Structure 1
């Protein structure tokens, strides 16, 4: 199986998006919006019977919080420590693709990377039943919103929003693909102390990438030397990832790995919008462990 077929899957999804507007792109399943170009009701129904393995590497994040970055690090850890390369021809997110993909995934060697943007309540029950370890990556909500908007509006084949104001209002009400950031955050905060859940942040990876790689390796039980950790971190530095993104993700690469900075929200947010998100965050997560982890006051105050 070659990497090109994974790239082909991404290119196919981009091709399907051409000429659609936002309303045509999104379809609702059980009250949440998803992109119709990569998700379908049939796939969601089939996903309910997905059989997770105990050694699956389950990676979760809300869109635009850095999950493609974590997928690369996990793949590199597997390749480096187990000397096996995961050649996947599937779209990396379990909710994306055709309903038959779960049959094909049964053939994948362990450990499989199982990535998703799904809300806690919508994850396949077998993940919990079989006690697979879950790594959840969060990013501060302001940079998440800014990055999500730029993704729509910089990708020529993906439907754009008419304005940042329009996107911001949809983001705040959870009327965007994969639903509400705040609902996602509140749900995971309730499970922050669960034995098989590790919550990390985009910002902590940016602050100290080698420490982040080591934390991921230790959590999933990959035994790596200090040199291996350092070389995986070097390959995962944003510039390196972006430099190879065309090769790894095709045309979508430079769109998925755009700027990779913290604080980019300041170029888009008005004072009123900034205050609106502060109030919503406070109402959702004030005093929570997730708030402390996200260092909201450090990253979300101008």
Structure 2
């Protein structure tokens, strides 16, 4: 899907969303909420028909953990290796947005295919594990994830607008699109020994994007010169991506790229809400390798 087609696609979805009641915008599939206009039930059923390839490039993230930022970074890496045409790969690459017709087209798409998902590991089609497809998984501290997700819902018409208090409660119970943050985290924690899974954090990428680009390109088997690594990282800061997003995403660019800051949660959480999240983190992730990687005490306390 080229940028012009994507913008037309989103404009259509936005217009249809205006005609819907807020309570109609989400529906449940296998117990998890999804946005009706983006992830139709037929799309989710079609996932099982995707035939993975060993050289597919899979990007995974819970919503608002830096997925779109890393889409831009990975595209730049692929373009540096394969040349400009590669940057025209599927957009957006979320496989749950693909209906049955797109899944058929995917079969004819030349390798390497760039794909992505917000799904937890158990919901990713089994063929990706059978083919040992490499998956880059991005996580972000849960407090900033919640804040970013809250603003995304209120600025994106295909999702129901909600109050801060209501969204906080729904996030903590996991009753939001794509389900519980902590369920996702616990499930991916179990995959950390898989050599075909690489988990990076939003905070580490913000801290040292150059090293992140170097590690990501190596993980996917792309050979970049140090000059290419530097060029990609300098052109892939969050602010740089936000500025260029208008060309590819149109008005959605401002919705997808908001602040990109670490620690913005302090402008939203009450002390009681902060403690509730601390308790949830300690319950689910304290003592785990993913929990340590998120460096929760540094970024969330």
* Shared fold, TM over 0.5: yes
Native 8 Å contact 1:140 1:299 kept in 2: yes
Distance 2:45 2:260 in 1: 34
What is the 5 A alignment of 1:159-238? Answer: 159-161=160-162, 163-238=163-238
Native 8 Å contact 1:5 1:89 kept in 2: no
Is 1:32 aligned to residue 32 of structure 2? Answer: yes
Q: CA deviation at 1:3?
A: 2.7
Q: Which residue of 1 aligns with 2:9?
A: 9
Unaligned regions of 5+ residues in structure 1, if any? none
Q: Which residue of 2 aligns with 1:145?
A: 146
The change in CA–CA distance for 1:150 and 1:124 in structure 2 (over 3 A counts) is same
Q: Which residue of 2 aligns with 1:45?
A: 45
Distance 2:71 2:61 in 1: 11
Q: Which residue of 2 aligns with 1:119?
A: 120
Native 8 Å contact 2:118 2:178 kept in 1: yes
Task: State TM-score, norm by structure 1.
Answer: 0.95
Native 8 Å contact 2:26 2:159 kept in 1: no
Native 8 Å contact 2:13 2:158 kept in 1: no
**Number of residue pairs matched?**
300
Unaligned regions of 5+ residues in structure 2, if any? none
Q: Which residue of 2 aligns with 1:278?
A: 278
Q: Which residue of 2 aligns with 1:132?
A: 133
Native 8 Å contact 2:89 2:114 kept in 1: no
Q: Which residue of 1 aligns with 2:86?
A: 85
Native 8 Å contact 2:172 2:180 kept in 1: yes
Distance 1:219 1:89 in 2: 21
Q: CA deviation at 1:112?
A: 1.0
Q: CA deviation at 1:65?
A: 0.4
Native 8 Å contact 1:6 1:89 kept in 2: no
Native 8 Å contact 1:11 1:250 kept in 2: no
Q: Which residue of 2 aligns with 1:98?
A: 99
Distance 2:147 2:190 in 1: 26
1:17-61 deviations in whole A, cap 9, x for unaligned?
225454211110001100001112211111111101101111100
Q: Secondary structure at the match of 1:200?
A: strand
The change in CA–CA distance for 1:215 and 1:21 in structure 2 (over 3 A counts) is farther
Q: CA deviation at 1:9?
A: 2.3
Q: CA deviation at 1:89?
A: 5.2
1:205-227 deviations in whole A, cap 9, x for unaligned?
00001110111000001110111
Q: Which residue of 2 aligns with 1:56?
A: 56
1:61-109 deviations in whole A, cap 9, x for unaligned?
0000000111111111111112142424553200013221111112222
Q: Could you tell which deviates more after superposition, 25-34 or 97-106?
A: 97-106
Please, what is the CA RMSD of the aligned residues? 1.5
Distance 2:63 2:109 in 1: 25
Task: State TM-score, norm by structure 2.
Answer: 0.96
Distance 2:106 2:7 in 1: 17
1:253-291 deviations in whole A, cap 9, x for unaligned?
111011010000111100111111111111111100001
Distance 2:110 2:248 in 1: 21
Q: CA deviation at 1:148?
A: 0.3
Distance 1:75 1:90 in 2: 11
Q: Which residue of 1 aligns with 2:110?
A: 109
Distance 1:210 1:175 in 2: 36
Native 8 Å contact 2:52 2:128 kept in 1: yes
Distance 1:2 1:177 in 2: 26
